């Protein structure tokens, strides 16, 4: 997978990250199946890989990516951060039979997640 950036409304594009297909490649943009990608600003962004159920974050504009804890096996399909600390995701928990759609939030940048819907 490759990630490109534009600073001129799409007139030109520059490659900023190129990764392999192995989601275990530390630092590289993970391969696999894209669930969602979202950037809060030019440096802070999140990428979800739905085949293996993982969420990754970048603080350098996508040049490197770190896997976020606490969401193993959950296919994140929507990412929405309103600040570096506060965000929400919609995911499909692939660990449950038939899957289960959930809304989760974080207030610590994604270190921990609280299940909001359905609440158990």
Task: Dump pLDDT digits (tens) for 38-55.
Answer: 999 999 999 888 877 888
- Paired tokens of 113: 């997640």
pLDDT at position 21, please?
A: 44
59-68 residue pLDDT tens: 998 888 888 8
Q: How far is CA 7 from CA 4, 12, 13, 42, in A?
A: 10, 8, 8, 10
Number of domains in the chain: 1
Closest CA to 81 of 56, 50, 118: 56
28: three-class secondary structure by DSSP: coil
Confidence of residue 35 (pLDDT cuts 50, 70, 90): confident
The 10 Å CB-count burial string (b at 16+, else e) for 39-58 is beeeebbbbbbbebbbbbbb
Return the pLDDT at 119: 62
Range of the domain at 88: 2-117
Helices and strands counted in the chain (H then E): 0, 10
Contact 55, 90 (CB under 8 A): no
**Residue 49 confidence (pLDDT):** 84
Residue range 25-37: mean pLDDT, rounded: 69
From the list 57, 88, 87, 53, the residue with the least C-alpha distance to 73 is 53
């Amino acid at each position: 997978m490759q990630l490109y950036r534009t600073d001129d409304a799409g007139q030109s594009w520059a490659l900023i990250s190129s990764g392999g297909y192995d989601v275990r490649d530390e630092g590289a943009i993970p391969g696999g199946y894209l669930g969602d990608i979202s950037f809060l600003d030019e440096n802070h962004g999140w990428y979800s890989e739905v085949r293996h159920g993982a969420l990754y974050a970048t603080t350098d504009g996508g040049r490197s990516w770190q896997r976020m804890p606490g969401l193993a096996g959950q296919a994140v399909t929507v990412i929405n951060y309103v600040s570096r600390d506060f965000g929400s995701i919609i995911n499909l928990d692939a660990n449950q039979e038939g899957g289960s759609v959930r809304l989760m939030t974080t207030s610590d940048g994604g270190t921990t997640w609280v299940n909001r819907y359905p609440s158990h």
